[in-house]
Amino acid sequence: MVTTILSPCGILGYGFPEASLQKAMAQKPDAIIVDAGSTDAGPHKLGAGVAIVSRQAAGIDLKRLMTAAREAGIPLIIGSAGGSGARKHTLWTMDIIEDIAHEMNWQARVAVIYADIPIDAVRRARDEGRIEKMSPNVPDLTDEALAQTHGIVAQMGVEPILRALKEKPDIIVCGRAYDPAPFAAFGILRGHDPALCQHLGKILECGALCAEPGTTKDVMLGRLDDTGFEVWPADDSRRCTLTSVAAHTFYEKDHPTMLHGPGVRLDLSQCRFTQVSEGRIRVTGSRMLDTPYTIKLEGARLAAYRTFVLAGIRDPLLIACMDEVEREVVRSVDAYYGGLPAEVQINFYHYGKDAVMGSLEPTPVAGHEIGLMFEVIASTQEMANAVCASVRSTYLHYGYPGRKSTAGNLAFPFAPSDVPFGPVYAFSVYHLMHVDDPLAFFPMEIKEVGV
């Protein structure tokens, strides 16, 4: 048995060249599978209930993929719908699919798998000792934290997707899913080694990021057989190399040779990467080890509100003393308000000096100009706006030693200069939950969409 899987891009809505899609479809893939979500950007999308990409971008990609899958008579599988995979995101994706089906005068059978976890179920699991932190920095899962959490999703493994595949739908829309799971499930359904399926899923879920030059906005192909798998880009201007594919195996992992997921402990220490032709790599040696079945929980709470300012500084005298100026600005603003509430944060970022790495920056040497961003985080938007305005006006007119002018410390690229960002979310749930049944928390329904 040989199985070919097409991965169009790293996240649904990122886009991909039409020429790459057509060239990949000419190689007769058995399924089109695309990841649609991530927590890379933090908890905001989950907390706010908004998508990672625009509806317009998701619609463009979906229409092209639905057309290709329909013409080839193969399934289209979408993981982590809408970005965060909560019910709201999943229904948002379904709404786009239904609009496309009606527009194209199609009828499609869609399996929808939800990934929302009841807070009471998480509380019971905690009380029974079946919850563990993802890292020591994760906050405790207190009743207060759960009460503040807007909703919780869990990363499904292959089992809910396998159940859906057996219904033979045209499209599967998964709520929050472990990124490799949709790819792995299809390979497992077709009888391939689960270890190879999981490893291939790890490689394909980011689109052509494992190629050179790498990108999440182009089409990749993967082919499973009895002893390994091969990967290659659809676009001839890209190629997979031993380094690029091996490096992507290490991507986003906390251990160089071990990959963990729902019911997955994948040992990659014996993997072999072989160049089988120009731009094409073969992988063998992936092994699955026994592990308890856990699902990763993700939940977000409203933490604060933010207002920020972008400005430029070109005076070398101010650049030389800006750390001290900022300390004095904060002291002045704090005194003006008679002592700021403890929850108010004032943060400065110096782009061109150390904004990216902060205190870890090994060469904090400023150039002739600095891009300054400062933010104020507070319990209300009104307070964030007020304090930010005070920081901005104080900094703008602060008299530092040697200053020649009487104002103009900051150059603002925008007017108004202060940008009310709105709600700030924090992860309140970022834990593993031990489960006995991989299907228990992932209900499925079959929907007929279109005419």
Task: From 135, 209, 149, 205, select the one nearest 174 (Cα to Cα).
Answer: 205
Write out the two tokens for 225: 């057989």
pLDDT at residue 246, as a whole number: 93
Q: Taken in order 166, 172, 173, 176, is the CA torsion positive or negative?
A: positive
* CATH number of the 302-427 domain: 3.30.70
- Cβ 320 vs Cβ 166: under 8 Å: no
Predicted confidence at residue 24, as pLDDT, reads 98
Question: Could you tell me the CA-to-CA distances from 62 to 158, 173, 225, 344 in Å, in that order?
Answer: 22, 12, 29, 43
Q: Cβ distance 141 to 291 under 8 Å?
A: no
Amino acid at 132: E
d(CA 399, CA 377): 26
**3-class secondary-structure state, position 184:** helix
Cβ-contact 79, 7 below 8 angstroms: no
Q: Which residues contact 308 (CB under 8 A, 6 or more apart)?
A: 373, 374, 375, 376, 388, 418, 419, 421
| Omega cis (within 30) before 194 | no
What is the token pair recorded at 335? 């005194």
| pLDDT value of position 249 | 87
Coil, helix or strand at residue 274: strand
| Residue range(s) of every CATH 3.30.70 domain in the chain | 302-427
Torsion of CA 14, 19, 23, 28, to 10 degrees: 60
Tokens of 183: 């790819």
Q: At what angle do helices 316-336 and 381-397 cross, to 10 degrees?
A: 140
Question: Phi and psi for 302 in degrees, rounded to 5?
Answer: -70, 120
Token output for 38: 């991530």
- CA torsion sign for 16, 22, 23, 25 is positive
In the structure encoding, which two tokens stand for residue 172, read together? 């599967």
For residue 416, cis peptide bond before it (omega within 30 degrees of 0): yes
Residues in the chain: 451
Q: Which tokens belong to 177?
A: 């899913």
- Tokens in use for 278? 């120009």
Instruction: Tell me the two tokens of residue 233.
Output: 């880009």
pLDDT along the chain (451 residues), means of 10: 97 97 98 94 93 96 98 98 97 98 96 97 96 87 93 97 98 98 98 98 96 96 97 97 92 84 95 95 97 96 96 92 96 96 96 81 79 97 97 94 84 94 95 96 96 77
Q: Which class for 269: exposed (0-12), middle (13-18), buried (19 or more C-beta within 10 A)? A: exposed
Q: Tokens for 11?
A: 């996240």
Q: What angle do CA 264, 267, 270 make, to 5 degrees?
A: 155
Note whether 250 and 244 are within 8 A (CB).
no
The reported pTM is 0.92
